[in-house]
Structure formats: structure tokens, C-alpha cells
Amino acid sequence: MIGFVLRATGLTAVYLLVLTSLAPGDILVGAALGIALAAALRGGRHARPRRAPSLGALRAAGTMGAQTAAEMVRGSWRVVRLCLGAPCAPGLVEIPRGDRTRTEVAVWGVLTGEAPDEVVVDVDEERDVLVVHLVDASDPDAVRERHRRNHERTRRQVGR
């Protein structure tokens, strides 16, 4: 139920952002469209049972957003140094998938890719690793450790 409300609110917010208005009529039309679209998206092939997002999941999303923003700033700085010709060791790093499901891997990949110094290259299904290209691959274990720690914190906050 919370997921449905979140989706409907998000769609309404996009409608209002396009219109740039908070007039009651616009909000009403937007909410009607948002609820209709969210209901349409719920049926069909997305009908498999989902775990409802909880308050803990929302908090985890906030933490993940903050972490991603921090990584973006740090990564931008590293890429600026690479561009200006500072010595560095770019290279591929393999990160074990761990217990992430397919959806979690997708979300993880997009959030990791936000930082310009980490580009998700491939998912190696045979060896169950994610291949990431880094600007500074001199210490692959530290990178793996950071991702593992972030993942564990998220798991703890969601409470599963």
C-alpha cells in the first residue's frame, strides 16, 4: 500500500513540476492521473508479490542518497585530478555480488555509477561478480570493503 501511495505521489509530483503550479484544480487532475497510472502499473506483469517498503526502508534510502552524494563529490575530485594529468592507476575491480537480488544489483549499479570515478562495466554471471572500472584501482580490497560495509548498513536499516 505504501508503495502504491509513493508511486502515485511521485507521478503527481512530476505532473506538477512540468506545469509549475500548485492550483487546487491542477493538483486534483494530477492526483487523478497519478493514481490511475499507478493502478495501471500495479496490474499486469508487475503483479508478483512485493515486500511493502517500511519506514526503515525510507531511512535506508535517505542514507544511500547521502552516501551517493558524498561519493559523487569525492569521485569528481578524483576525475578532475585524472583529467589534469595527476599520476593514478585506473583499472578494473571485481566486487562479489554477495546476497543481493537482481533488483538490488540494478539499484546498486545505478547508485554506484552516479560517481564519475566508478563505471559499472559488466555483471559476470558465471563468477557472480560485478566488474567496475575505477580511476584509482590501487587498493581493490578497500573498494570491496567499502561496498560491503554500505550494503550491510542498508540491510540493517531495512531490518531484514
Interface residues with another protein (CB under 8 A) are 14, 16-18, 20, 72, 76, 79-80, 82-85, 90, 109-114, 116-117, 119-122, 131, 133, 135
The three cell numbers locating residue 13: 509530483
Q: How far is the CB of 110 from another protein (least distance, A)?
A: 5
CB 111 within 8 A of CB 64: yes
Q: How far is the CB of 15 from another protein (least distance, A)?
A: 11
Q: How far is the CB of 67 from another protein (least distance, A)?
A: 14
For another protein, give the closer residue by CB, 20 or 101. 20
Burial 84-109, CB ≥16 within 10 A → b, else e: eeeebeeeebbbebbebeeeeeeebe
For another protein, give the closer residue by CB, 124 or 156. 124
The three cell numbers locating residue 34: 497519478
